[in-house]
């Protein structure tokens, strides 16, 4: 090999070395950029966090029932929802208010759901999970997206003003829009088409979630309807009882006066023009006395029946309270004591 050829080989080697160095540098920069993008990208963060999520059997059942889209699945896995008993749930969600039934929370990127175990109320676990998932979605929305959604929600609010006032009465003004978003998406059946399309990005069948909501609300509504029916009957009967009792007392006072007059006339010779007149007026008084006794029995029967309605009303109120307590993580269950225990 000539000297010229040796020189050319050295040049080529140096060129190859520089190209490899340049390739390595570019690769390092690309990896750095990719890492930087991943650290900044919520999508990448969600994918990463979701890789480590293993739902419990109960939460997997809820996950399947919600019929999430791919986007919904990604956020669901990233938030790692868990069903919890009262102690763990209260600690995670800082729920210690006996008067407030908190069923779930989204905090520090995680979803926690209080496990309601009463069979008729178990669908609430699904609705709560969907509700908290929408809090996670809201956190990921841009300001422009939130502004657009706000316009749709204002339309919903106009059509459901009384419902929203009741649902949001415990929330500060700054939190109401987000709560409207999570509640409309899980509890209201009829929504504007644009808002429905938005929720469809996360739930393939949002109506099914509303079904779950109506299912666990049904026992409450049934008891509430029965309370309202009984209340109307109790008030109506009470009015009639008072009317009949007043009638009984007035007729009784009148009868007593008539009896005194009758007895006074009977004690005086010639007080009655004939035996027939005596018997006729006596029979009339006896008939009024008999009718008053029937009225007294009728009033007492109505009082007993209305008292029975009041007892039933109180029992239903107690049942309604027990249902509410079943959905409150701060209610301590009282175990039945054995006979002889204090």
Tell me, yes or no, if the pTM score tops 0.85.
Answer: no
Write down the pLDDT at residue 28.
Answer: 44
Residue of 228, 152, 146 whose CA lies nearest to 190: 152
pLDDT tens digits along 110-166: 999 999 999 999 999 999 999 999 999 999 999 999 999 999 999 999 999 898 888
Burial of 64 (0-12, 13-18, 19+ CB in 10 A): exposed
* Sheet bearing 82-84, strands edge to edge: 82-84, 110-114, 104-107
Considering Cα of 269, then 275, then 278, then 283, what sign does the dihedral take?
positive
Alpha-carbon span 195 to 156, nearest angstrom: 9
pLDDT tens digits along 304-321: 999 999 999 999 999 988
Write down the pLDDT at residue 170.
Answer: 80
Spans of the chain, pLDDT less than 70:
1-40, 95-100, 331-342
């Amino acid at each position: 090999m000539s000297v010229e050829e040796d020189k050319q080989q050295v040049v080529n080697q140096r060129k190859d070395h520089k190209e490899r160095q340049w390739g390595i540098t570019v690769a390092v920069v690309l990896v750095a950029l990719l890492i930087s993008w991943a650290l900044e990208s919520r999508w990448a963060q969600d994918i990463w966090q979701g890789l480590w999520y293993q739902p419990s059997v109960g939460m997997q059942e809820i996950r399947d029932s919600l019929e999430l889209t791919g986007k919904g699945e990604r956020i669901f896995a990233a938030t790692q929802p868990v069903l919890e008993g009262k102690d763990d749930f209260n600690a995670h969600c800082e729920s210690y208010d006996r008067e407030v039934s908190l069923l779930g929370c989204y905090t520090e990127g995680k979803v926690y759901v209080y496990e309601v175990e009463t069979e008729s109320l178990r669908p609430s676990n699904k609705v709560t999970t969907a509700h908290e998932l929408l809090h996670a979605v809201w956190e990921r929305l841009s300001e422009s997206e939130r502004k657009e959604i706000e316009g749709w929600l204002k339309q919903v609010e106009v059509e459901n003003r009384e419902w929203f006032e009741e649902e949001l009465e415990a929330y500060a003004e700054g939190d109401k829009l987000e709560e409207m978003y999570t509640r409309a998406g899980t509890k209201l059946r009829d929504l504007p088409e644009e808002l429905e399309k938005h929720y469809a990005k996360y739930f393939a069948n949002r109506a099914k979630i509303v079904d779950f909501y109506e299912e666990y609300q049904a026992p409450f509504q049934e008891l509430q309807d029965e309370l309202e029916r009984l209340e109307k009957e109790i008030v109506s009967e009470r009015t009639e009882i008072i009317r009949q009792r007043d009638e009984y007392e007035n007729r009784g006072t009148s009868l007593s006066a008539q009896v005194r007059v009758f007895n006074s006339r009977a004690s005086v010779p010639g007080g009655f023009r004939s035996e027939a007149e005596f018997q006729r007026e006596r029979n009339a008084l006896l008939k009024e006395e008999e009718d008053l006794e029937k009225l007294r029995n009728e009033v007492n029967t109505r009082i007993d029946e209305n008292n029975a309605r009041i007892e039933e009303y109180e029992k239903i109120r107690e049942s309604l309270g027990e249902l509410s307590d079943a959905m409150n993580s701060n209610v301590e269950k009282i175990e039945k004591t054995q006979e002889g225990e204090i």
